Structure 1
C-alpha cells in the first residue's frame, strides 16, 4: 500500500539527548511557548522537525521551559520520568531515547516520501511507554507500547490537526515501529501482512533504522544490515540508500 499511514505481551527493544541552547523561530525569545495555543505550537514544532539539523535542541528547550505542560504535549513530558532498561537503553529515560531518534531521523528525512509524517512518527514512536512501562521481577518492561502508542498518537494529534490522513499515517508508523525487531527475531508479535497493508514499507524501515540508531553504543553498519534483513524477510522490493 503506497499511502503512508502509519498486541499480546511483547519485549521492547529500545533507545537519547543533547541539551542545547534554543532559538525561537517566531520572535528570537526563549521557547517556554506557554503563550502559544497547542495548534500554534504544533506548527512551530513541525517547522523545527522538518528543517533543523538537530531538532532535539528545540524540543528539549520546550521541555525545560514548561512548554510541554499543556495537554496534549504533557503526554510527551511524561516520557522524561519514564525509565528504560539500562541493558537496552544506556542513554536513560524514554525522553532521552526519543530525542536521539528525532536527531537521527533529521539526518535521513530527505530520504522520506513524507518528511512531516516521518518526523512526527519519530517524535511519537515511544509515546506508549508512558502508559505501559512497569517493573516486573526486577526488569523494566513496556509490553504493547507500540499498539498502545498508536492510539495515544491518534489522541495526541487529533487535538492539534484536522488532517485525518496525516494522523493515520503517523499512528500506523508508531504501531509498526517495532516490527524490524519482531521480524528479524521471528517473534510471534509481528503482523507483516497488516504492516504491508497499513504502511509504506520504505517509511517503516527508515523509522526502524532511526529507532535502532537512537541508542547509545549502536553500530551503524550492523543496523544497516539489520534493516536490509528486515526488508528481505518481508519479501518487499525496497532499498534504503542509507
Structure 2
C-alpha cells in the first residue's frame, strides 16, 4: 500500500480525518514503520495540561487536522496544508522534557522542521520542491503567531514574510490553538483576534520595509 497517497486522500477528503487515523491505530492498521511511526510515537508524548488539557500530542494532532479540514480550501496548497497540520508538532517527540516539574517542548518548531524534512525526504517528496518547502516552512513557523503577538525574543517577522506563506501560517495557527481542550466563545474570539494581530504585524513589517527601501533607495529583500 502507498501510505502517503492513502493518508493524503483522507486528509484532503474527510470531514474529520481523525476518525480514519484513530480507527487505523485502534485496529493496529497504522503503519509502524519509518517514517510514519514518527507520528505514531506521539501517542506516548504527554503535554502540559495547563496548555493542552486534551492530553498527549497524538490527541492534539488529531484535533488539529480536524480543524485544518474545516479550513483547507482557504489555504494556498490544501495538500501541503493538511500535511503540515499532521506533522506540525512532530518535534515534540524529541524535545519534550520535564523541567522543574513542568512538561515543556522548547524549540519543537525548529526541531520539527528538521524532522519534517527527514520524513518527506525519506519518501522522496523533496523532489516536489513546492510541496516540500511549503510543509517544512509551516512546521518551522507555526509558533510564530504566539511569538509575534507576545512580542517575545523568538518572533521572526523577517523569516515569516520571506516564506511567502503568511496567511497559511495564520490559518495553521488558528487550527493549532483551537485543536485542544474545549474553549468558550470568548476564548475562540480571542484566538481569532490574535491571528488578526499577527497578520496586521506582518503587513506593518512589509510596509515598513518598503518605506525604508524607497527612502534610502535600497533593494527590497
- Out of 124, 134, 153, the residue aligned to residue 169 of structure 1 is 134
Q: Is the 8 A contact 2:43 2:58 kept in 1?
A: yes
Q: Is the 8 A contact 1:146 1:177 kept in 2?
A: yes
- Cα offset, 1:66, TM superposition: 4.1
Show CA shifts across 1:181-218 (max 9, x none): 00011110111101110241011110001100101133
2:149 is matched with 184
- Out of 153, 177, 183, the residue aligned to residue 116 of structure 2 is 153
Q: Any gaps of 5 or more consecutive residues in structure 2?
A: 206-221
Q: Is the 8 A contact 1:208 1:227 kept in 2?
A: yes
d(CA) in 2 for partners of 1:44, 1:83: 28
- Pick closer, same or farther for the CA change 1:140–1:109 going to 2, 3 Å: same
1:27 is matched with none
Aligned residues: 199
d(CA) in 2 for partners of 1:167, 1:61: 28
1:60 is matched with 22
1:232 is matched with 200
d(CA) in 2 for partners of 1:181, 1:197: 18
Show CA shifts across 1:100-136 (max 9, x none): 0000000111111110010000000000000100001
The structure with the largest helix share of the pair is: 2
2:191 is matched with 223
1:83 is matched with 46
Normalising by structure 1, what TM-score? 0.79
Structure with greater Cα Rg: 2
1:121 is matched with 84
